Amino acid sequence: MSASGPPWLIAAAVEQEIQGLRTGLRAGQPLSGQHENAWEGHWRGTRLLLVRTGVGPQQARQGLSPFLNGDPYRGILSIGYAGGLKDECKLGDILVPEEVRSVPPLPEVCFRPDPDLRKKVLTLASNGPWKIHTGRMITSDHVVITSEEKHGLGRAYDAASVEMESAVVAELADQASLPCVVVRVVLDEASFSLPDMIQVFRWYRKRQFGKLIPYLVTHPLKLLELLGLLQRSRKASKALNDLFLARLLDGLTEAD
């Protein structure tokens, strides 16, 4: 299939989750002024559309819906970070869940990724340097910070991982009759309580250094927490980028 054929759509919440693919695909310029959160790249002659949706269920719906107005796609992949809910899920491990379920206060909806696409992803990812977990993933309306809440959710829903967008991505794919699969990486283990610095990380992510630097000067311990979180983010991103650029993209496009 030539580069003019339908693309794969790859959705991630934040820049750090998609930057490596943008670099690998040489997708430097936004798709258009109207869609500054989307970039088009090519791999083996197949087009790929990268969409940064924003964080959380509502942002995911608003960020992805404009691209699902009837345009054809080969399929949709929801990628990015996730938190482990089982102790066996470690930093840098890959998550390819058999089921994605949203939990209260979100409407409880359950989706199963496309079986053929998921099987292909698992086959392509096998024998790599990463450990793969296939248990249920839940989508929450908030960042699950504490170890106590993580373990509680894992027990309550028999789930291996948690994040904030994939159930919405799967729902939109289902409504558009498109195959969908979730491929995420563990950023924080069940035993790891995230530091209470969501606003700090948001300033860093948006490059709002005029707010970030004065705060860190007066809260030096937060700087250490930020550096630790960035180190985790780099390790998780490397695992996800290596998986896609070394294995998945070749396999997904080789038959096109």
* DSSP codes of every residue in 83-110: EESSTT--TT-EE--S-EEE-TTS---E
Between 195 and 56, the more confident residue is 56
Domain range list for the chain? 8-253
Per-residue model confidence (pLDDT) at position 4: 58
Percent of residues, the chain, with pLDDT higher than 90: 73
6 DSSP 8-state letter: P
Q: Considering the entire predicted model, what is its pTM? A: 0.89
Q: What is the CA radius of gyration of the chain?
A: 18
Look at residues 138, 148, 195 and name the one whose alpha carbon lies nearest to residue 170.
138
Over range 225-246, report the average pLDDT.
Answer: 91
Q: Would strands 161-163 and 8-12 be described as parallel, antiparallel, or unpaired?
A: unpaired
Average pLDDT of every residue of the chain: 91
pLDDT at 153 over 90: yes
209-218 and 198-205 helices cross at what angle (nearest 10)?
A: 140
Q: Which CATH architecture has domain 8-253?
A: 3-Layer(aba) Sandwich (3.40)
pLDDT tens-digit series, residues 164-206: 999 999 999 999 999 999 999 999 999 998 877 667 767 877 7
236-253, pLDDT tens digit by residue?
Answer: 999 999 999 999 999 998
| DSSP secondary structure letter of residue 37 | T
Euclidean distance between CA atoms 12 and 166, whole angstroms: 9
Give the pLDDT score at 2.
Answer: 41
pLDDT in tens, 109-126: 999 999 999 999 999 999
Work out the pLDDT band at 228, boundaries 50, 70, 90: confident
Residues 6+ apart with CB under 8 A from 146: 193, 194
The four Cα atoms 182, 14, 221, 189 give a dihedral, to 10 degrees, of 0
Q: Which long-range contacts (CB under 8 A, 24 or more apart) does 31-40 make?
A: 35/66, 35/67, 37/63, 38/67, 40/7
